[in-house]
């Protein structure tokens, strides 16, 4: 049995979110929207899968950080069910990614900053409280939110300044 998400120390959550931020930085270096994710086996305290946004590079609209982390974790453990895992992601997941988390049976979700336009956990929709799903995911928001948000803000400021220079 894994510890309830709210009983895990802030230091532990920040430790794993730091790895998600590293993934997000890789996306930014490739000129992709800087979102990063890691899937952590909470019993063994190790990263099982990771990913960063790369739909442009991969020519794949589903290549979101969360989806890629889920795929790599499933391959690593040889199972499509990711029970007792916690996904750490820098930005609130979208509808597609929440659906994938439910189907993968991820136990917990920790995200940094809200996504006001497309967030499907708190901001625009609250899909994790939807009663029609056959799986429940506990979630925690706001871990290293300032750092996660700053990375996104800097990325889009750079994008806008390049457009105005042309």
What φ, ψ does residue 112 adopt, rounded to 5°? -80, -85
* β-bridge pairing 36-41 and 85-91: antiparallel
Burial class of residue 77 in the structure, from the number of CB atoms within 10 Å of its CB (0-12 exposed, 13-18 middle, 19+ buried): middle
Catalytic residue among 6, 32, 43, 66: 66
Nearest to 82 by CA among 61, 62, 57, 108: 108
Nearest to 103 by CA among 82, 131, 124, 129: 82
Active site residue 14: no
- The residues that are catalytic are 66
């Amino acid at each position: 049995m894994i510890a309830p998400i709210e009983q895990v120390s802030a230091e532990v959550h920040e430790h794993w979110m730091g790895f998600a931020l590293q993934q997000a930085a890789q996306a930014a270096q490739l000129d992709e929207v800087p979102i990063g994710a890691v899937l952590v086996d909470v019993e063994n305290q190790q990263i099982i899968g990771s990913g960063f946004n790369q739909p442009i590079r991969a020519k794949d609209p589903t290549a979101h950080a969360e989806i890629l982390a889920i795929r790599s974790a499933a391959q690593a453990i040889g199972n499509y069910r990711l029970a007792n895992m916690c996904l750490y992601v820098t930005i609130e997941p979208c509808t597609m990614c929440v659906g994938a988390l439910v189907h993968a049976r991820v136990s917990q979700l920790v995200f940094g900053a809200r996504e006001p336009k497309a967030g499907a956990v708190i901001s625009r929709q609250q899909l994790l409280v939807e009663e029609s799903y056959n799986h429940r995911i506990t979630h925690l928001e706001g871990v290293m939110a300032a750092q996660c948000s700053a990375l996104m803000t800097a990325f889009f400021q750079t994008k806008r300044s390049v457009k105005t220079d042309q």
